[in-house]
Amino acid sequence: MKKYVFFISLFVLNQTLLAQNLINTGALIQGGVEDGQKLVEAYIKPLNKAIVFGLSDVDYTQIRRKRSHRLVLSLKLAYISIPSTDLNFDVTKIGLKNFEPKDPGKVMTPTVFGDSLKYVTLVSKEKDLFGRPLIEFNTPGGSQKSAMPLPFLGGTYRLKYTNLSVNFIPYVTVPDSDFKVGMFGAGVQQDLALFIQSLRNKKYGLSVQAAGAYLYGHSDLDIQPGQIYSPVTISGQATGPYDNQVVDINYISLNLATYFNYDLTQHFSLFAGTGFNTGSAHIQVKGTYPVYVADPTGTGAVVADDVYDPIDISETFSRQKYIIGARGDWSHFYIQLNYNIADYGGLGLNLGYKML
């Protein structure tokens, strides 16, 4: 695939569709640094939210069962639902400086999760000598996925009234791309029976939890003037070299929660809770890039100047969530299913093997 990439995929480990739909967003930087940042920010905002919130959606660990097993390894999957209101955005509402829709009646374009076949044609406000826009390009389509799976590995070590947990994604390359991503998280869940004797040896329990996760990624890029502006003749100071282009992503997710659990039988239990989730997304595009600037000569030529470290997006998100779930425990295995009721909520699944 031709690689005039602006922002390569993040990391859908079990699917490559989302990754492939992030591959040709190089066009978004054509409108200059200011417009490019606004377009990219609006396009990937739902993805940023899904990652920040999804990293906390399978944090619950069972601590009430009196088992001899202390070390548990697990496979975890958060399945984050994307609100329908975040599948599209209005290009006239993000404050574009140099570009406008070619068709004033067509202004809604997909986010990264939106329709794969829809787009908006943007044209430069600056015109050539014949009144034609100097630049015209289509916004990228979406992945057409209303939910995002986020899988990772986990481990839990149980003390008498405390569970210590870790979650991680090994530093791996996303399929069909050169984007590498990894994740590490840790948490502690405390049974309040340690402090409240009346909760001991009961079928029910109360616990509190604090957990956090850090996801990071890196990729080299390759954006050349001829790939972006062809077949229009280029003038200006786009001389490169362009061999230092990289994109870095960093996500932090923090979660505080309180849980109530009840043992139905020896093997089955229910749990419910409420939590507060907050986190940040930081995306940087660094290096030298050829970017369209307003034509200072007035000749109607497309002018590309080199800019350095053009994109730096930082966002923070927070939500209140409610959790309900069920768990089945056997000698060496367990299965746990929970549902998060919240903005960007969804299902969580844990499959575990009890080692010791």
The single-letter DSSP state of residue 153 is E
Question: Residue 46 above 90 pLDDT?
Answer: yes
Is residue 197 within a helix (H) or strand (E), and if so which, with residue range? none
Mean pLDDT, rounded, for 180-199: 92
- The β-bridge partners of 339 are 324, 347
Mean pLDDT, rounded, for 72-98: 94
Q: pLDDT value at position 5?
A: 29
Mean pLDDT, rounded, for 170-187: 81
The single-letter DSSP state of residue 173 is E
Q: Which domains does the chain have, with CATH numbers?
A: 17-354 (2.40.160.20)
Q: What is the pLDDT of residues 120-166, one digit of tens each?
A: 998 888 887 778 887 788 888 888 888 888 888 999 999 889 999 99
- The token duo for 47 is 């993805």
Mean pLDDT, rounded, for 44-52: 92
Best CA proximity match to 174, nearest among 25, 44, 6, 11: 11
Question: Residue 4 above 70 pLDDT?
Answer: no
Amino acid at 174: V
Across the beta sheet with 99-101, the strand order is 99-101, 121-124, 136-138
Q: pLDDT value at position 206?
A: 96
Q: Are strands 288-293 and 136-138 parallel, antiparallel or unpaired?
A: unpaired
What value does the mean pLDDT of the chain take? 83
Percent of the chain scored above 70 by pLDDT?
Answer: 83
Q: pLDDT value at position 134?
A: 79
The reported pTM is 0.87
Q: Tell me if residue 140 falls in helix, strand or coil.
A: coil
Q: What is the pLDDT of residues 205-264, one digit of tens each?
A: 999 999 999 999 887 777 776 555 545 566 677 788 888 888 888 999 999 999 999 999
Rounded Cα distance between 217 and 171, Å, is 8
